[in-house]
Structure 1
Amino acid sequence: MERKIQDAMAEIKRGASEFIGSDYIASLVARYYLSAERFVVKAGFDPTAPDLHLGHTVLIQKLATFQKYGGNVKFLIGDFTATIGDPSGKSETRKQLSSQEVLDNAQTYKEQVFKILDPKYTEICFNSKWINELGVGGLVNLTSKFSVARMLERDDFEKRYKENRPISIIEFMYPLLQGYDSVALNCDIELGGNDQKFNLLVGRTLQRAYGLNKEQSVLTVPLLEGLDGVNKMSKSLGNYIGVTEKPYSMYAKIMSISDDLMWKYYDLLSVKTIKEIQDLKNGVHKGDLHPKAVKEELALEITARYHSLDSSLEAKREFDGVFLKDELPDDIPEMEFQKGIWICELLKLADLCSSTSQARRDIKGGGLKINKQKIMDENYKFESGEYVIQIGKRKFIRAIIK
């Protein structure tokens, strides 16, 4: 029994940044092994954009790990708090969303998370249910449970306060309402990103204040670097891998990450055990395994999770054909443009480059091919016709010039 608990805790802690209350979690896992009694584990998601990327799924993967060891997951969609906007890590107040935007985005989340989570042990919750029931009196009572001085201990609030930049009262409400979610759901454990630590600790404080006779344990996970290996995965930076991307695109993007970053992706995204991952590392270190083969295994696993095994194998076949035989992908998106368009403008409009300046740099670096021919002329303009345009090894578009 003791060995089983140790192994479970090792998997739970894997890849985590910080762990508060590990003894309590170990006791919950032990209780599950002895009596099959499950415990409540929660993570909140504000549906501020319609689609998830792999950076978001780090937290969801950890929820799935807890399900293996007795966790009943409360997948909390912050339909109320998303209309406020969480300022965590932000230098200014975040734009508030309309209720309809939140509900539309929440629906796509519900469709995507069950590619990872076990529906049998997952409950989708919306925090508007209990927050709307609080009423004015309940909200006033909630504000009495926490001081302004404590609120200003949060790094982003403290910085803005010292710099005389505005902090709205509604922003103070966000961590209080997130903490109240833990009261309403009677949480045993709450998960969040590094930037959520303060909010997660507020939940512990409020559970005591409301007489729950418990303090939820807290586990934070690191932010996942994107394809550039430097910045966190983000749609705005263009370094993301979306969970709804087509199989070839997903597979190719995973294959593009560095060998060093690959191991972090394994730790945070793979369902392989710690021992299985260590065996792969040992194989690479001894020279028995090539890093490319190990990366292919990761790309196949993740692509199959969001599509199917057959789709992931087809993506690998297509990828190998493109990279080893200089073939073109089977599924190239098409866009129409007007005759005379400048190559740099086309690359920007097609989202092959983030800006015309980046397009110039890619062309000068030899990264542009038009109909499989390398083009170095940054002033190139198109005549009427059909062109297959390639930037780097994995970005393609079929341009119809009218």
Structure 2
Amino acid sequence: MIKEALAEIERGTAEIIDKERIEKLLKDYFENGKHYYVKAGFDPTAPDLHLGHTVLLQKLATFQKYGAIVQFIIGDFTATIGDPTGKSETRKKLDPQTVLKNAKSYEEQVFKILDPDKTHVLFNSHWIEKLGAHGLVELTTLVSVARMLERDDFEKRYKAGKPIAISEFIYPLLQGYDSVYLKSDIEIGGTDQKFNLLMGRQLQRSYGIGKEQAVIMMPILEGLDGVQKMSKSLGNYIGVTEDANTMFAKIMSISDELMWRYYELLSSKTLEEIEVLQEGVRTGKVHPKYAKELLAAEITARFHGDEEAKRAKEEFDKVHKQKEIPTEIEEYEVVGPIWIAKALVECGIEPSTSQARRDIQAGAVKVNKEKINDKDFHLEPGEYILQVGKRKFAKLKVKK
């Protein structure tokens, strides 16, 4: 059983530090029923999570299957400082009202994946504010400036002559202090968090709490393009709160190669089940599209339920197999005649007229199911169904 648990825990990880400690924790749970604590911190910098964030949540859920109590840390205090990880300049701080609003949204979303009975949702302001000036100064004496400058992004900015605020040095110290206060056994984070995660080990040792947390680093999930990391700002994300039809269709749009990456990091299927499915695709017994439909259905059901996932598949088939118009389309009104590129922007299915022109030239734009090749085309008064690619639709009424 321990071997099986370890295989699932190691699945998809980028790096594990102190695997032996994890083995001991599992052994103590299976033999003595003793629970242990796995920590992950989230700064509520935006109200909505996307599937990239859920990579950590899936790993936390795996630990819950094997005896862990999850310490889900909402960094309401540290978010007011701003995490400098990977930043080339000082990050803007969030006001407390925005932090609390976003934190509430996080709480509602994470229990789509985590077991609430095995999760402690904690706000780090609870213990950090109690540190006071004396405690904070004491904390800063435990780590040298030279140690801080070992961090890659700090080192680059220092060499480039870019400013580094003292508060940015404080951030990893406070994240590490979370592990001291909570006496965490394991901490999970992204590969970009390695310095901060190791800080937890160092501070636990410095404070003499009798343990040093193991560290698990998860890779950054690629977005729909399969190249850049999943990000709202890049537009290649799948939002946890997106409607079922959009979520299903976005997952179906990923490449066959990227699909297996998503299976490894996001699916609840066992490694053996995924291996059987992969073998089926390799031998031609299973069509890649069917494997992708299973993935899309699983993830959509996780956030919307089985019935919504089923309806999303039916809607996808209707639009993509039968070439029909979606059942529900946003409706817009404009005064015309109107240039097609501007109309596409007004309907929100193109980000700019220049992008619209490129898509028209690429043959990706249709009006009433007819492909438009003329980038100077104008829509006269009337009603139209506008389409960009396979997933973007809008109903437009052009008035005189």
Match in the other structure for 2:306: 309
Q: Which residue of 2 aligns with 1:124?
A: 121
- Percent identity among equivalent residues? 62
CA distance in 1, matches of 2:359, 2:390: 12
Once the two structures are TM-superposed, the CA of residue 213 in structure 1 deviates from its matched residue by: 1.5
Counterpart of 1:290, as a letter, is H
CA contact (8 A) 2:52 2:220 kept: yes
1:83-102 superposed matches below 5 A: 83-102=80-99
Q: Does 1:5 align with 2:41?
A: no
Any idea what SS the aligned residue of 1:191 has? strand
Q: Check whether the contact 2:347–2:396 (CA below 8 A) recurs between aligned residues.
A: no
- The verdict on how the C-alpha distance between 1:264 and 1:358 changes in structure 2, with shifts beyond 3 A counting, is same
Count how many residue pairs are aligned between Structure 1 and Structure 2: 399
CA contact (8 A) 2:223 2:229 kept: yes
Q: 1:344: which partner in 2?
A: 341
| Partners of 1:168 and 1:390 in 2: CA distance | 48
Question: What is the 5 A alignment of 1:210-229?
Answer: 210-229=207-226
Shift of 1:100: 0.4
- Could you tell me which amino acid in structure 2 is paired with residue 359 of structure 1? A
The equivalent of 1:169 in structure 2 is: 166
Shift in Å at residue 264 of structure 1?
A: 0.3
Partners in 2 of 1:308 and 1:55 — Cα distance?
20
CA separation of 1:79/1:262 partners in 2, compared to 1, >3 Å: closer, same or farther?
same
After TM superposition, give the deviation of residue 353 of structure 1 in Å.
2.8
Residue 349 of structure 1 and its aligned partner are, at CA, apart by 4.4
| Cα shift readout 1:326-362 (whole Å, capped 9, x = no counterpart) | 1111121223334344332333344423333222111
Residue 19 (structure 1) aligns with: 16
Give the counterpart of 1:81 among 78, 81, 86. 78
Instruction: Please give the alpha-carbon distance, in whole angstroms, between the structure 2 residues aligned to 1:98 and 1:336.
Output: 37
SS at match of 1:72: strand
**Structure 2 residue corresponding to 1:61, chosen from 30, 50, 58:** 58
Q: Residues 337, 196 of structure 1: CA spacing in aligned structure 2 closer, same or farther, 3 A cutoff?
A: farther
1:48 aligned residue: 45
What amino acid maps onto 1:392 in structure 2? G
Distance 1:164 1:359, change over 3 A: same
Deviates more, 1:86-95 or 1:263-272: 86-95
- Bigger mean CA offset, 390-399 vs 295-304: 390-399
| Displacement after TM superposition at 1:396 (Å) | 1.2
Structure 2: runs of 5 or more not aligned:
none
Deviations 1:18-51 (A, max 9, x none): 1001110011011111111110001000011110
Q: What is the TM-score with the length of structure 2 in the denominator?
A: 0.97
Query: Take 2:116 and 2:381, find their aligned partners in 1: how far apart are those partners?
Result: 52
SS in 2 for 1:354: coil
CA distance in 2, matches of 1:351, 1:164: 41
In structure 1, the gaps of 5 or more residues are none
Quote the Cα distance in structure 1 between the aligned partners of 2:146 and 2:292.
48
Structure 2 Cα separation of the partners of residues 343 and 173 of structure 1? 52
What SS class does the counterpart of residue 132 from structure 2 fall into?
A: helix
1:58-102 Cα shifts (integer Å, max 9, x gaps) = 010110000001110011100011111111111111111110001
What secondary structure sits across from 2:69 in the alignment?
strand
SS of equivalent residue, structure 2 residue 295: helix
- Seen in structure 2, the aligned counterparts of structure 1 residues 399 and 7 have a Cα distance that, compared at 3 Å, is same
Q: What SS class does the counterpart of residue 40 from structure 1 fall into?
A: strand
Which residue of structure 1 aligns with residue 273 of structure 2?
Answer: 276
State the one-letter code of the partner of 1:226.
G
Matched, 1:114 2:127: no
Q: How does 1:3-402 map to 2 (within 5 A)?
A: 4-402=1-399
Alignment deviations for residues 173-221 of structure 1 (CA, whole Å, 9 cap, x no partner): 1101111111111100000011001000001000011111111000011
What is the Cα deviation at residue 400 of structure 1?
Answer: 3.3
Partners of 1:334 and 1:80 lie apart in 2 by 42
Tell me, in whole angstroms, the C-alpha distance in 2 between the residues paired with 1:170 and 1:385: 58
Residues 351 and 229 of structure 1: CA distance in aligned 2, closer, same or farther (over 3 Å)? farther
Aligned in 2, Cα 1:89/1:276: closer, same or farther, shift over 3 Å? same
CA distance in 1, matches of 2:197, 2:31: 29
- Work out the CA distance in 2 between the residues paired with 1:215 and 1:349: 55
